[in-house]
């Protein structure tokens, strides 16, 4: 088993509390199913859309968002899968696709010493 990071990008945020609740239920269901199959290493956390960006040798601080809205990382989950193909396959159940978002699947690099 290898580890992969799902980065959730873009996707519209819900307008009403009822919608938000429904969306949360969907995420809950998805992560629970994945967890029961033994694929979830760490559920991770959702992230706020705004924040600060610190960059450059002068460590300049600027306000977010940092990129176009559709590219903003909205959260992450650490999962376990046989290989990249399976990790990609598993990501297809993510509710983010209903909201026009994307899942970026990134293998965790294994550093050999």
Partner 1 sequence: MVAVLTRIFGVQNLALAEDVVQDAFCRALEVWRMRGMPDNPAAWLMTTAKNCALDALRRERTARTFEPELSRFLQSEWTLAPAVEELFSPNAIKDDLLRMMFSCCHPRLKEEAQVALMLNILCGFSVDEVAGAFVSSHAAIEKRIARSKKVLASSKKLFDVGAAAEFSQRLPAVQRALYLLFNEGYHGASPETAVRADVCREAMRLTAVLLEHIAGRTPSTYALAALMALHAARLPARVDAAGNLQPLIDQDRSQWDAQLIAEGQRLLDLSASGPELSEYHVEAAIAWVHATAHRAEETNWAEIVKLYDMLIEIRPSPVVALNRAIALAQRDGAHRGLDEIRAIAGAEALAKYPFYHAALGELELRSGRQETARSHFEAAVGCARNPMERRFLQQRVHSCKGSPQSESA
**Residues making contact with partner 1 (CB under 8 A):** 21, 24-25, 27-28, 31-32, 35, 40, 42-46, 75, 77
Q: What is the CA radius of gyration of the chain?
A: 16
- List the beta bridge partners of residue 9: 73, 102
> Closer to partner 1 at the Cβ: 44 or 101?
44
Least distance CB 99 / partner 1 (angstroms): 15
The CA-based angle 10-16-20, given to 5 degrees, is 55
> Closer to partner 1 at the Cβ: 13 or 62?
13
Least distance CB 43 / partner 1 (angstroms): 3
Least distance CB 29 / partner 1 (angstroms): 9
Structure tokens at 64: 């977010």
Least distance CB 94 / partner 1 (angstroms): 11
The residue ranges of DSSP E strands in the chain, in sequence order, are 2-10, 40-42, 52-55, 60-63, 73-81, 101-107
> Closer to partner 1 at the Cβ: 28 or 61?
28
Residue 12's nearest CA partner among 98, 90, 88 is 98
């Amino acid at each position: 088993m290898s580890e992969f990071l799902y980065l959730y990008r873009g996707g519209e945020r819900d307008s009403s509390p009822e919608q938000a609740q429904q969306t949360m239920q969907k995420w809950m269901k998805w992560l629970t199913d994945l967890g029961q199959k033994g694929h979830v290493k760490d559920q991770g956390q959702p992230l706020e859309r705004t924040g600060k960006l610190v960059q450059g040798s002068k460590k300049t601080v600027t306000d977010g968002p940092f990129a176009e809205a559709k590219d903003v990382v909205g959260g992450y989950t650490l999962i376990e899968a046989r290989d990249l193909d399976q990790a990609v396959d598993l990501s297809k159940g993510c509710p983010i696709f209903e909201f026009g978002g994307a899942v970026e699947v990134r293998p965790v690099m294994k550093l050999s010493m």
